Structure 1
Amino acid sequence: PFPDITEIPGPSCYCGRRGCLETWVSGRALQAGYAQHSQQELKAEEIIAKMRSGDRLARLVWDRYIDRVARGLSLVVNTLDPDVFVMGGGMSNVAELYDELPTQLARYTFSRVFETPIRKARHGDSSGVRGAAWLWKG
């Protein structure tokens, strides 16, 4: 399910490759998607606010974003069957992510029912650093 044929080869990534998942499912990716269709550069927070106020383009860009997140995570579900997803980064602060993502994920997983919990990282944007420190400390 990822990438879609229309997404190949994908945008350049900071790592030097093209089409990495990060280039499709980050706040910057949401901003780029909106700018591509509107020629207007807005921050992710502004796009989310427009979506919440009923802006059609912002809603379409958000739907495309959620679809990409779902397709990316479905690869993990279908191969590893995790007990939980813990979402981090700036986009993890968008409440709609937790409402809409499970339904979208069910479209791409082997089972028609998606029951894996999707949680927001407890320590916000510093969760990754805390986890790395915890692992290093051992």
Structure 2
Amino acid sequence: MSSDKSYTGRCFCGAVQFTVNGVPAAMGYCHCESCRHWSAGPVNAFSLWQPDAVQITQGADNIGTYNKTPASYRKWCKTCGGHVFTEHPGMGLTDVYAAVIPDLSFSPQIHVHYQEAVLRIQDGLPKMKDLPGDMGGSGETLAE
């Protein structure tokens, strides 16, 4: 993947549109309770980007924000409720949900918060108890 690659994405109805540029810092699956509840699914596929790689191209005034904790500012479309991304200030990264970037070749490298998993996935990828050490976690891995 070239670092000058650009991808377009949008919310469910298309009122909010954006581009992401370059290469994601990481891609994987989050099993934490917050992500599961927010996504209404047993696991959330993430792609983490540098904040300046994410550009809102339409509907910036239509983006709502909710932060349950200061670690995550979840963003959604005020028209359709479609989730688009989450800002993680402590990590200095923005999670653009893999499902809203249709042309991104999703290539997961890791599972995070696997101790909270309700859906066990045996795919050979590392299963982190919480987060990698360089992202503020314990760095502890768990068995599949």
**What TM-score results when the alignment is normalised by the length of structure 2?**
0.30
Structure (1/2) with the larger helix percentage? 1
Where relative contact order (Cα < 8 A, 6+ residues apart) is larger, the structure is: 2
In terms of Rg, which structure is larger? 1
TM-score normalised according to structure 1 size: 0.31
Q: Going by fraction, where is strand more abundant, 1 or 2?
A: 2
